[in-house]
Amino acid sequence: MKIKRDKADILFSNYVRELANWKCAKCGTQYKRKSQGLHASHFFGRRAESTRFDLDNVCPHCFACHQFLGSNPNEFVEWKKKQLGQKRYDELVVKHNTHQKKDRKMQALIWEQALQDLCKEKGIDPKFEKLV
């Protein structure tokens, strides 16, 4: 079953990619701003509300890296441990296994402001509706 993306998901995804300067965290491929070739890849799927909007759980990955890591869970675990370190990885696992109530309006407000602040800091136009 496919999980639908809402405004909070889109804003968070744009924040993740903008924060990484539109560069894949695994292979280093650089993308043009607003490219659809760079994804916000969740280590623990979006179904878990506790980690859905957690920056430790999400990385910008190109389509190829996203597909590869998603199809090779053992390699994804090793990559994630190397990226975060064992302590932060363990904290992410605990957080993932903790229930969190869904509040998409609050998440949308949080990530809209975060994206606006990041864009202002970078001196770019924060027109969210035009971002993918």
Q: What is the mean pLDDT of residues 48-74?
A: 96
pLDDT, residue 1, reads: 56
Among 54, 20, 48, 53, CA closest to 39: 20
pLDDT, residue 35, reads: 87
Asked if pLDDT for residue 132 goes beyond 90, the answer is no
Pairing of strands 38-42, 58-62: antiparallel
As a whole number, the mean pLDDT across the chain is: 92
Q: What is the mean pLDDT of residues 84-108?
A: 96
Which ranges constitute the DSSP H helices of the chain? 7-19, 49-52, 63-71, 73-84, 86-96, 104-122
- For the entire predicted model, the pTM comes to 0.90
In DSSP terms, which residues pair with 60 in a beta bridge? 40
